[in-house]
Amino acid sequence: AQTVTQSQPEMSVQEAETVTLSCTYDTSESDYYLFWYKQPPSRQMILVIRQEAYKQQNATENRFSVNFQKAAKSFSLKISDSQLGDAAMYFCAYRSARLGYGGATNKLIFGTGTLLAVQP
Amino acid sequence: GAVVSQHPSWVICKSGTSVKIECRSLDFQATTMFWYRQFPKQSLMLMATSNEGSKATYEQGVEKDKFLINHASLTLSTLTVTSAHPEDSSFYICSARAPPGQGIQETQYFGPGTRLLVL
């Protein structure tokens, strides 16, 4: 079974600085998707960035970028020029690329989350 | 991005009553919807996966008769908490995923959540 591990329960960063959140996963599959979701105090889950495993190029979205190391099964999130609005819980998630209805292949497997604080 | 709405955003009810929560995909068709439960400072716990027109698939330990899920159309799924008790108080989140062909099928989009308090 697939698992996702976020080893940093809490992180803190100074405003305008850069922070990296760690995520590792375990799978025997070769084709899958990886995601970072942000959950601010409002508790709305917001998609930050996604990565297709077959793509070697790391995904980027403005100040957010990932370091995807497929062989190491690592998927870290880098937030550059941190802003106060970045303060949130960040969840790393895995999903198999296999299609099908119901069953484990359709599930998002979440990590336990990293609570990011941004200091002014 | 795709938008998922959830209604109500919060609800307070008496023990023994039933509560219905609606989840709608506003700008895409969702053949698959997911219902999660989240306790404070914890990750999301998947309760069930629902596919339009068929029965929901429940995760181990989730009572089917207590948490009734209906996915009657490509844009609407409902979760009914039957005979609610205080231990059912929680934050419930729905999520929707589009089928292949809509360009966003590999991504799940989440509703804003429903806070349920059972007195």
Å between B107 CA and nearest CA of chain A: 8
Would an 8 Å CB–CB cutoff place B49 in contact with chain A?
A: yes
Cβ separation A107–B93 shorter than 8 A: no
d(C-alpha B50, C-alpha B28), whole Å? 16
pLDDT at A102: 43
pLDDT at B100: 67
Contacting residues of A for B113, CB less than 8 Å apart: 43-44
Would an 8 Å CB–CB cutoff place A107 in contact with chain B?
A: yes
d(C-alpha B107, C-alpha B98), whole Å? 8
Mind listing the pLDDT tens digit of every residue in chain B (119 residues)? 688 999 999 999 999 999 999 999 998 888 889 999 999 889 999 999 988 878 899 999 999 999 999 988 889 999 999 999 999 999 999 999 876 666 656 788 999 999 999 99
Nearest to A91 among B43, B49, B106 (CB): B43
Å between B3 CA and nearest CA of chain A: 11
CB-neighbour burial class of residue B5 (10 A; exposed 0-12, middle 13-18, buried 19+): middle
A90, closest residue in chain B (CA to CA): B43
Q: Tokens standing for A102?
A: 């119901």
Cβ-contact B110, A44 below 8 angstroms: yes
pLDDT at A103: 42
**Angle at Cα A70 formed by Cα A67 and Cα A72, nearest 5°?**
90
B53, closest residue in chain A (CA to CA): A101
d(C-alpha A35, C-alpha A43), whole Å? 17
Contacting residues of A for B34, CB less than 8 Å apart: 107-108
Cβ-contact B118, B86 below 8 angstroms: yes
Mind listing the pLDDT tens digit of every residue in chain A (120 residues)? 889 999 999 999 999 999 999 999 999 998 899 999 999 999 999 999 999 999 989 999 999 999 999 999 999 999 999 999 999 999 999 998 876 544 444 789 999 999 999 999
pLDDT at A46: 94
pLDDT at B1: 65
Cβ-contact A35, B107 below 8 angstroms: yes
Would an 8 Å CB–CB cutoff place A102 in contact with chain B?
A: yes
The dihedrals phi and psi of B2, each to the nearest 5 degrees, come to: -70, 150
pLDDT at B59: 93
pLDDT at B74: 87
- Sequence-distant (≥ 6) Cβ neighbours of residue B48 within 8 angstroms: B34, B35, B56, B57, B58, B59, B62, B67, B69
B6, closest residue in chain A (CA to CA): A44
DSSP calls for B45-102: EEEEEEETTSPPEEPTT--TTTEEEEEEETTEEEEEE-S--GGG-EEEEEEEEPPTTS
